[in-house]
Amino acid sequence: MKIATIDIGTHSVLLLIVEQSSNGKIIPLVDEATLTRIGEGMATNYVFLPLGISRTLEVLKKYKKICDEQDVQKIIAVGTAAFRKAANANAFVVKVEKECGFKIEIISGKREAQLTWKAASTDFGTNIVVVDIGGGSTEIIPQENQEVSLPIGSVLLTERYYNSDPISAKDYQNICDAIDEKINKLSPLLISSPSRGEESKERVILIATAGTATTLGAIKKKMKVYKHHEVHGSKITLGEIKTIIADFKSKTIEERKKIPGLEPGRADVILAGSTLLEKIAGHFGFKEITVSDRGVRWGLAYEYLSRL
C-alpha cells in the first residue's frame, strides 16, 4: 500500500510517499521539501498573506500531481504552528480541499509533538530528548506524551529582531534575549524522568529535527546536493554549531547563500534557528546533537501503517 503524508509548516511544505512491503518494511519512494513561507509576516499579523497562500497552494497542487503519478491510495496532510495562529487558516483549508482534493487537518502542538516523538523514537529508541525547531514554534519533547511548546521559531525571531545585514550586535543580542527569556524558565530537570529507570546506563541523546538541524548537518558535510540518508542520524557538536553561527553572523544574507549545504531560501532564518538550537542544547547540558531528517511526516506514516 502506498500512502502520502504532507506536513505544512510555517516555513516549508514536506511530502513523503512510502510503500509498505509484504514483510512490513516501510520503503520511501518520494521525500521532498519546498520552502513556501505560508507564515511570512505572522510576527506582526496573524493572517496568511496572499503571496504565502499562492506559493503554498502551487506546491500542494504539484504534490497532488506527484501522488497521482505514484498511485497513492491515501493522502494525510497536516498544518502546524502557523495554522494554529492564522485567522484565515480555515479558509485556506477549504480552498486546498476544493482545488487539490484533499483535506488539511490543523493539529495541536501536543499532537505535533506526539508525531515528532513517534518518528524519532522509531529510529533512535526512547532514551532521547527531541527538539523540533519550526518557523513559528519550538517543541521540546523529553519523553512520550510530554512536551513543552515555546512560541518562538526561526521565522518569528528573524521577522521580529533582524533589522540589519550583516546582523548588528544589537539585533543579535535581541534574538538571544528573546530566546533566553523563554528557555531560562525551563528547569534543566525537565529532561530527567523516573520512567527512564535509574538502572539505565545508556546516555540520553538529544535528537534535533526539522530544517534548522538538517541544514546544520548538511553544512557540516559541505553538501552541494542534499542527501537524506547522509544527514539522518549524523552528529554535530555544540562547538561546531557555535563556529557555524559565528560564520553566519559575519556574512550578509547573500553571502550565506553561497555556503555549501545551506539552501538559499533558509539563508535569512538560519541564524535565529541555529542560535535557538544551540541555546536549548546548552541549557540542558548537551554537548552533541543527533540530527533527524524524519519529523511529523514520518510520524504520520509510521502511525498510519502500524494500524493496518
Q: What is the CATH number of the domain that holds 58?
A: 3.30.420.40
Regarding whether 144 and 258 lie in a shared domain, the answer is yes
Regarding whether 215 and 158 lie in a shared domain, the answer is yes
Q: How far is CA 28 from CA 2, 5, 58, in A?
A: 10, 11, 23
Domain assignment of residue 213, yes or no: yes
The CATH number given to whatever domain includes residue 119 is: 3.30.420.150
Domain assignment of residue 304, yes or no: no
Regarding whether 180 and 75 lie in a shared domain, the answer is no
Q: Distance between CA 167 and CA 176 in Å, rounded?
A: 13
Domain assignment of residue 225, yes or no: yes
The per-residue pLDDT for range 114-153, each reduced to its tens digit, is 999 999 999 999 999 999 998 888 989 988 878 888 889 9
Q: Is the pLDDT of residue 308 over 80?
A: no
Domain assignment of residue 100, yes or no: yes
Regarding whether 195 and 97 lie in a shared domain, the answer is no
3-state SS assignment for residue 170? helix
Domain assignment of residue 308, yes or no: no
Regarding whether 184 and 92 lie in a shared domain, the answer is no
Alpha helix ranges (H) inside 140-261: 154-161, 169-183, 211-220, 228-231, 238-250, 253-256
Regarding whether 71 and 48 lie in a shared domain, the answer is yes
Q: Distance between CA 136 and CA 150 in Å, rounded?
A: 9
Regarding whether 280 and 157 lie in a shared domain, the answer is yes
Query: What percent of the chain has pLDDT above 70?
Result: 95
The per-residue pLDDT for range 60-94, each reduced to its tens digit, is 999 999 999 999 999 999 999 899 999 999 999 99
Q: Is the pLDDT of residue 34 over 90?
A: yes
Q: Is the pLDDT of residue 199 over 90?
A: no
pTM above 0.85, yes or no: yes
DSSP code string of 76-99 = EEEE-HHHHH-TTHHHHHHHHHHH
162, 161, 136: which is closest to 149 by C-alpha? 136
The per-residue pLDDT for range 205-253, each reduced to its tens digit, is 999 999 899 999 999 999 999 998 999 999 999 999 999 999 999 999 9
Regarding whether 222 and 114 lie in a shared domain, the answer is yes
Alpha helix ranges (H) inside 101-168: 109-124, 154-161
Regarding whether 286 and 212 lie in a shared domain, the answer is yes
Q: Is the pLDDT of residue 191 over 70?
A: no
Domain end call among 59, 90, 107: 107
211, 244, 236: which is closest to 136 by C-alpha? 211
Domain assignment of residue 303, yes or no: no
Residue 45's pLDDT band (boundaries 50, 70, 90)?
A: confident
Regarding whether 257 and 170 lie in a shared domain, the answer is yes
Residue 196 confidence (pLDDT): 45
Domain assignment of residue 306, yes or no: no
Regarding whether 37 and 115 lie in a shared domain, the answer is no
Domain end call among 107, 140, 162: 107
Domain end call among 79, 107, 135: 107
Residue 21's domain comprises 2-107
- Checking phi first, is residue 197 left (phi over 0); if not, alpha (psi -120 to 50) or beta? left
Q: For residue 234, give the DSSP letter.
A: -
Q: Distance between CA 215 and CA 231 in Å, rounded?
A: 9
Residue 193's pLDDT band (boundaries 50, 70, 90)?
A: very low
251, 259, 258, 44: which is closest to 164 by C-alpha? 251
Residue 189's pLDDT band (boundaries 50, 70, 90)?
A: low
- Checking phi first, is residue 165 left (phi over 0); if not, alpha (psi -120 to 50) or beta? beta
Regarding whether 128 and 93 lie in a shared domain, the answer is no
If one counts every other C-beta atom within 10 angstroms of the C-beta of residue 264, the result is 13
The per-residue pLDDT for range 85-120, each reduced to its tens digit, is 999 999 999 999 999 999 999 999 889 999 999 999
Domain assignment of residue 302, yes or no: no
The tally of domains found in the chain comes to: 2
